[in-house]
Chains A and B, each alone.
Chain A
Amino acid sequence: MKLSLKLYIYLAIGVALFILSAMFFIWSVGYMEHAMIATSLLSALIGFSLLSGALYMFRLSAYIYGIERGEREEH
């Protein structure tokens, strides 16, 4: 059985959020080096939020994958 598109959409959103979060983490160190403390802490916070969002997306796609693959195993 072919896996549905939904899985890949969630995966893509997850990967995009993950890359964004990594960028924010790197930016936070850069801001700290340029003595922008509040900006740095805020971007670290944004990085953590985006990372947890990415993980939630991965989890959703894992559930969809589970439903579809689990179906195939039963047949």
Chain B
Amino acid sequence: MRMRILFEVIPRIISLLILWECMDFLLRYGTQLFKGFETLLLTPSSAIMNILTLVASVVAIATVVTASPLLYVVSLTLLAIAKGSAGTLVSFQSIVGLIAMLVMDHVKSVYREEQMKYVKYRRRVLALISIATLCIGMSMLCIVVATYVTQFIMAMKALGMGVGGNHILSLLFSNPLVQIAIALVLIKLFYRLIVEGFDIVSLFLYPSKRVALNVLTSRRDIDVVISTPLQTLQSVIVSSFVAPPLYAVLYSVVLPLLKEYLPFVSVLESIVIRAVIAITIFILVSLAIKTISVDLLVGNVKRVLIASLTMLIAIYGASVTLTLQKAGDVVYALLNPDIDTLSKLVERVYTGYYLLFFYVLNALLQLVGVAP
């Protein structure tokens, strides 16, 4: 029970010590706050800074109350932004405090009362060597990964400065947000792989026949669905090929037929609804292709068959309807589907569809301010 109290108290003390600056601000200006915000806003040059510091101090108090590492980081970040102009960024102590808080948070979640075990070494030299290996190995791992990510980001930064001629590219690569995003992706991938690596090391250190046989004989662990990277992009590319024919079938064949019986369908012909339906078909097709590509990997052929048959039946049915409108004979129409006319329609829709797409894209870019 005593240890549990320790885990609760130590993070609060650490955050209190490090974030005292924020709370000191609140204590000093707190009395003035009740009179109104005017006192804070009186000096316009530091108004934003004062508000940021105020928010940081409120978050700091929340950190001391909850002892959560996330709130600690948030308050430190706010403080760093508020004091950024003064040149004092995140201090060394606060980073050490963050590490301590994270360790405490983790130990608190895995610690179990009265189930302690000790590692016993028979020889002192062995203990020294193994602990040293662990420490040096961990530090080396951290240094190697951090060096790699830094090198990558630095190369990107240099590139962003180098390609002055290409505006979008230099905008993309000199943008700190893009750099942070890429660094986060790299770190997350490395983190997952390193966790996996530690798992494997523990398997080597404590070999157990039972665990190994359990894993190797269970189907659940072996039949893993591998999600290939960039699958969304792949499905978007394939659906940009598949979606226009469906749109052509809908608008050039089905809609005129429907209009004969239901006159109010002509509402669907307005440009806005056309665009909405075009985008909807595109999204639906890309979703379908995404699931189908997973099915292909797993070996679930039924859905693939149904999807391709649907596509074929749509094309065949549309061309049969086209012949039927001209000839009027059902058997003749079934035997001589007018694929030529349909392919001409589809061709027209390909250009029209992508003109619509580029129109929407251009409008979006103009809204954002990238395109002139």
A21 to B, closest residue via Cβ = B193
Count of residues in B whose CB is under 8 Å from the partner chain: 29
Q: A-side binding surface: helix, strand, loop or mixed?
A: helix
List which B147-179 residues lie within 8 A (CB) of chain A: 148, 151-152, 155-156, 158-159, 162-163, 169
* Closest chain A CB from B190 CB (angstroms): 9
**In the complex, chain B residues whose CB is within 8 Å of the CB of A66:** 203, 207-209, 211-212
Smallest beta-carbon distance B110→chain A, Å: 23
Q: How far is the CA of A73 from the CA of B206 in the complex (A)?
A: 11
Measured CB to CB, the closest approach of chain A to B54, in angstroms, equals 42
Which residues of chain A are near B208, meaning CB under 8 Å? 66, 70
Kindly list chain A residues whose C-beta atoms are within 8 Å of the C-beta of B209.
66-67, 69-71, 73-74
Contacts of A33 in B (CB 8 A): 155, 158-159
Q: A45: which B residues are within 8 A, CB to CB?
A: 229
Instruction: Let me know if B200 is at the binding interface, CB within 8 A.
Output: yes
Residues of B within 8 A of A69 (CB): 207, 209
Inter-subunit contact A35/B204 (CB<8 Å): no
Question: What residues of B have a CB within 8 angstroms of the CB of A51 in the complex?
Answer: 193
| A64 near B193: Cβ-Cβ < 8 Å | no
**Are A59 and B203 neighbours in the complex by a CB distance under 8 Å?**
yes
Q: Mark A1-27, 1 if CB is under 8 A from B, else 0.
A: 000000000000000000000000100
- Residues A62 and B203 in contact, CB atoms below 8 Å apart: yes
* A29 and B159 form a contact (CB under 8 A): no
Flag whether B216 is at the interface (Cβ < 8 A): yes
A residues 42-61 touching B (CB-CB < 8 Å): 44-45, 48, 51-52, 55, 58-59
Contact partners of A55 in chain B: CB under 8 A: 193, 196-197, 200
Instruction: Kindly name the residue among B169, B193, B229 whose own CB sees the greatest number of chain A CB atoms within 10 A.
Output: B193
B213 in contact (CB, < 8 A): yes
**Is B296 in the interface zone, CB < 8 Å from A?**
no
Please indicate the chain A residues that have their CB under 8 angstroms from the CB of B199 in the complex.
59
User: What B residues does A44 contact at CB under 8 A?
Assistant: 152, 186
Pairwise interchain contact A64-B212, C-beta atoms closer than 8 A: yes
Instruction: Determine if B159 and A32 form an interchain contact, defined as CB atoms under 8 angstroms apart.
Output: yes
Q: How far does the alpha carbon of A45 sit from the alpha carbon of B233 in the complex, in Å?
A: 15
In the bound complex, what is the Cα–Cα distance between A71 and B207 (angstroms)? 10
Known: A62-B200, A62-B204, A63-B212. A35 touches B152 (CB 8 A): no
Highest count of chain B CB atoms <10 Å: which of A40, A52, A62: A62
Residues of A within 8 A of B197 (CB): 55, 58
Flag if B193 contacts A29 (CB, 8 Å): no
Chain B neighbourhood of A58, CB < 8 A = 197, 200
> How close is B269's CB to chain A, nearest CB, in angstroms?
42
CB of A68 to closest CB in B, whole Å: 8
Q: CA A48 – CA B209 in complex, angstroms?
A: 30
Query: Please, how many angstroms separate the alpha-carbon atoms of A58 and B205 in the complex?
Result: 13
Contact yes or no, B200 A25, CB < 8 A: no
Smallest Cβ distance from A22 to chain B, in angstroms? 9
**A40, B156: Cα distance in complex, Å:** 10
Q: How far is the CA of A47 from the CA of B118 in the complex (A)?
A: 39
In the complex, are the beta carbons of A37 and B159 less than 8 A apart? yes
What are 10 A-B interface contacts by the 8 Å CB criterion?
Answer: A29-B151, A35-B162, A45-B229, A55-B200, A58-B200, A59-B196, A65-B204, A66-B207, A67-B216, A73-B209
Q: Residues on A close to B: CB < 8 A?
A: 25, 28-29, 32-33, 35, 37, 40, 44-45, 48, 51-52, 55, 58-59, 62-71, 73-74
Known interface pairs A35-B163, A37-B159, A62-B212; 13 further A-B residue pairs with C-beta atoms within 8 A, sorted by A's residue number = A32-B156, A35-B159, A40-B155, A44-B186, A52-B193, A55-B197, A59-B196, A59-B200, A62-B204, A65-B203, A67-B209, A70-B210, A74-B209
Closest 7 CB pairs of A and B: A70-B209, A66-B212, A62-B203, A32-B155, A69-B207, A66-B207, A63-B212
